[in-house]
Amino acid sequence: MIVKYGGNAMKSLDLRRAVAAEIAALRAEQTVVVVHGGGPVIERELAARGIPSEFRAGLRVTTPDAMDVVEMALCQLNKQLSQDVGHAVGLMGRDSDLLRAEIFDPTLGRVGRVTGVNADVLRALIGAGLTPVVGCVAVGPDGDALNVNADTAAGAVAGALNEGIVFLTDVDGVYRTYPDPASRAAHLTRAEVEGGIQDGWIAGGMIPKVRAALDALDRGAPFAVIASGMHAGALSAAARGEAGTRITP
């Protein structure tokens, strides 16, 4: 299974370690590949350097200067997460062409669209009993770094490995009337997702997440669930289909 782990569910050290412990426990039952972002860490490092950045439809407009900071921040986080999870190897998408990408839209700067995944590297690590922990910086056609939204990166990895995916975040799933948790949808079809984006009740960072879930299903993932990483036991409940929002074709 692929676990996408993002910034909002790793805001404190305690939370980060709790999720890492859940990932480690899940490994007793199944193979796990972690793909991570780190929006809040990136935000902090950009602010410390006085580099402004803005989001368009959930994607960070990434100047070359911002790209350097994104890569530096995610590389450090990658090592911390790998250590937290244990028996893990931390890699960035740039290592061994793990994530290949092209420029998504020139107006967004160095933001990448994934064009290929080196699944063999992941299989080799898994075969050696190690858990791959992948940071979402891809290699572009020029060999330079491209900033890929971590949900998008995780969806592409799930599709390439034909494995199910759980996107961990700071909400219990997709809410029909955000921010009311009671309005969580247990299931959403592609048509409902597209309608939700159009009508505006799926917004901001949830847009790349639902799109990545659909993309993962299109590329061969058997299931895709968006769930909370904020409560103990949430990951295993989501893996059993008992929590979160399951996106269906």
Ligand X SMILES: CC(=O)N[C@@H](CCC(=O)OP(=O)(O)O)C(=O)O
Ligand Y SMILES: Nc1ncnc2c1ncn2[C@@H]1O[C@H](COP(=O)(O)OP(=O)(O)O)[C@@H](O)[C@H]1O
According to CB under 6 A, which one of 2, 19, 39, 157 is a site residue for ligand Y? 39
Nearest to 167 by CA among 115, 208, 130: 208
Q: Does 213 bind ligand X (CB under 6 A)?
A: no
Figure out which of the listed residues 171, 212, 216, 224 binds ligand Y, where binding follows CB under 6 A: 171
| ω into 132 cis (within 30 of 0) | no
From residue 60 to residue 99, the character string flagging contacts with ligand X as x (rule: CB under 6 A) and all else as - is: x---------x-----------------------------
Sign of CA dihedral 189, 193, 243, 89: positive
Q: Does 138 bind ligand X (CB under 6 A)?
A: no
| Catalytic entry in 37, 39, 155, 205 | 39
Q: Nearest approach, Cβ of 127 to ligand X (angstroms)?
A: 27
Does 162 show up as a binding residue in the annotation?
A: no
Q: Say how far apart CA 70 and CA 72 lie, in whole Å.
A: 6
> Which segment (33-41, 82-90, 157-165, 219-227) binds ligand X by CB under 6 A?
33-41
Given 37, 109, 196, 244, the residue binding ligand X (CB under 6 A): 37
Name 132's Cβ contacts closer than 8 Å, sequence gap at least 6.
Answer: 33, 34, 88, 89, 91, 121, 122, 125, 126
Closest alpha carbon to 186 in 245, 145, 103: 245
**Does the footprint of ligand Y cover residue 7 (CB under 6 A)?**
yes
Q: From its phi and psi, is residue 131 left (phi > 0), alpha (psi between -120 and 50) or beta?
A: beta
Known binding-site residues for substrate equal: 38-39, 60, 147
Known binding-site residues equal: 38-39, 60, 147
In the complex, the residues that contact ligand X under the rule CB under 6 A are 6-7, 37-39, 42, 59-60, 70, 111, 136, 147, 149-150, 205
